[in-house]
Structures are given as structure tokens and as C-alpha cells.
Amino acid sequence: MEPINTALSQWDGNKELQKRLDQAKQSLLKNSYITQFLDEHPGVTDDMLTTGMTKLYEYKKERDHCDHCPGLNRCPNLMQGYQPELYIERKNLELRYHACSLKVQHEKQKQEQDLIRSLYIPKDVLSASFNQLDADTDRMEASKAALHFAMNANPGEDGMGLYFYGKFGVGKTYLMGAIANELKERNIETFIIYTPDFFREMRQSIGDGTFQEKLDAVKKAKVLILDDIGAETTSSWTRDDVLGAILQHRMLEKLPTLFTSNYDYDELENHLSYSDKGGTEELKAMRIMERIKHYTKVITVKGENRRG
């Protein structure tokens, strides 16, 4: 079947329409994406351009949307979260769509959250930002340390993390949320995990066969934040086979791990030394703490309880 724009151009007395079609064609050919495509495909003929006008227009419009991206949820493209690709098939211009970086990231996060239920960013820190932090002198040291880490983190090259210690409600998790959001802008994958839930989930995952998959995902995250470590019920298994395995891998691969806790180093070591088998296991707790101490900078987060 003859393309509609070609058929219309052949009607008697339709010179004005032909003029408009030519103008639209010339306008499209000035688009930077289309000129780049033509430079890469010198074999494209004028007939191919004429019959492919509709595809060219769709391609230009969708790429313009991507250049002024309003975010994945407000994506105006025909296929939300997908970018068009122009290609040639049987001497015709055709379009196909690929997931954009935001869509890929969203799907990856969804898969991770489906896998690990304790992987989360609480609602109150979803929009946490360093720009929103007040000039609170009590938290100034922690805020500076958090910002410095967020701006300079280099997973794989520098495995140094942070250990935020302070009372309940002083804003430790909020600062971690600000770090995670800043790292997201730098395209650095960050896991924030509520430690007590994570250890419970790992124990349950033995029964459903997902233990190793979950463990590997956490071990390999570019940046890992273990929120509220020390609030969990201690067992030899979670300490040695879960936490120990995670920290050992991350230490070797120079992947930063950050912690928040109500315990300082010594108190956390004492907490980790208790065994569900009875008695204490100071040596094993000491080994865990050596990994934490050597690869974190401890920061005391001061201030009043902001939740009370």
C-alpha cells in the first residue's frame, strides 16, 4: 500500500500540502539525533526518508521527551520508561524501544526488594537531603562526615565506611538516607538494611532456598548500610555465617559498609560475644569487630530525640 504522505502529495492542486510535507521533512532532518543517525547510515535514500516520515517524527518526539525527562512516573513516552532506537530493516526506517536507565534501575530495585524484604528506605528518609539538614551544632560532625562520604565514595577502590553511634532518635538513619540519595545521583548502588529484620529474614530463607542468593546480593552491593546493628537477637550463626561472611567479602573487595547503632564499638563487641549456645564467645566477636573498626570511622551523633 502506498504511504499516505506520498499519495497525498500526488493529488492535483495539492501543492500547499506538498510544501508543508517538505518543510516538516527538512525540519526533522535538522534534528541532532536524526542527523547523527544519517551520518552513521550514509546509505539512507530520500525515498526511505519520505516513506519513514512518521517514524522519524515519533523518534524525534520521544527523544525530546527523554532530553527533558520528568522522571519515570511521569514519563510521557508511548511506552513509559522506554527510549526509541531508529534502525533500518529491508530498506525501511523502523523503530524499536529499549528500557531507559531509570527503568532499568527501577526494575533492578524492585527485584532486590522482592528478594530482600528488609531492604528498605523508610518513608521519612525517602527524600532525605543534605540541603534539608538544619545547622544543628550537635550533628555538625556527623553531617560533615556523611556529606564527605557521599561525595567521595569510591567502591572497589576505597572500602572505608562510617559507624554512626548515638542514642535513639538523634537522626542517624536520616543521615544515612541522605547519603543513599546522594549516591543514587552518582549512580552508585546502595542497600539500606534494617539489621534485626534482615537477620530474621536470613534465617527464614534457609527454608525457602533463597539464603545464598540474598547473601550474595548484600555482599556485593556497592555500598551497604546496616541500620541499627546491635538491636538484633544475637546468635552464633547470624554473627559468623551471615555478618562475618558479608564483612569478609566486602573487606576483600574494598566495598564500603556503613553502620548505625545505639552501641559504641566496645558495647557492640560485648553484644556480639553472647552466644545462643550459652556463655560468651569473645574471640569470635573480636574478629567481627576488627573488621568493623578497621574499615569504618566512628562518629558520635549527638542531639535530642527527634521522634519523641
Pick the closest to residue 231 from 277, 205, 255, 267 (CA basis): 267
What pLDDT, in 10s, does the model give residues 173-229? 989 989 988 888 888 888 999 999 999 999 989 888 999 999 999 999 999 999 999
- For the cut 80, the answer to whether the pLDDT of residue 6 exceeds it is no
What b/e string do you get for 178-195 counting C-beta neighbours within 10 Å, with b at 16 or more?
Answer: bbbbbbeeeebbbbbbbb
Q: What is the pLDDT of residue 154?
A: 96
What pLDDT, in 10s, does the model give residues 9-26? 554 456 777 777 777 778
What average pLDDT does the structure give for the chain? 85
pTM: 0.67
What pLDDT, in 10s, does the model give residues 42-69? 998 988 888 888 888 898 899 999 999 9
Q: What is the pLDDT of residue 181?
A: 86
- For the cut 50, the answer to whether the pLDDT of residue 235 exceeds it is yes
- For the cut 50, the answer to whether the pLDDT of residue 1 exceeds it is no
What pLDDT, in 10s, does the model give residues 260-301? 999 999 999 999 998 776 667 899 999 999 999 999 999 999
How do strand 161-165 and strand 257-261 relate by DSSP bridges?
parallel
What pLDDT, in 10s, does the model give residues 103-135? 887 787 776 555 445 566 677 777 787 877 666
CB 307 within 8 A of CB 169: yes
Domains in the chain (CATH in brackets) are: 14-100 (no CATH), 116-300 (3.40.50.300)
Q: What is the pLDDT of residue 308?
A: 52
- Signed CA dihedral, 201, 203, 207, 211: sign only: positive
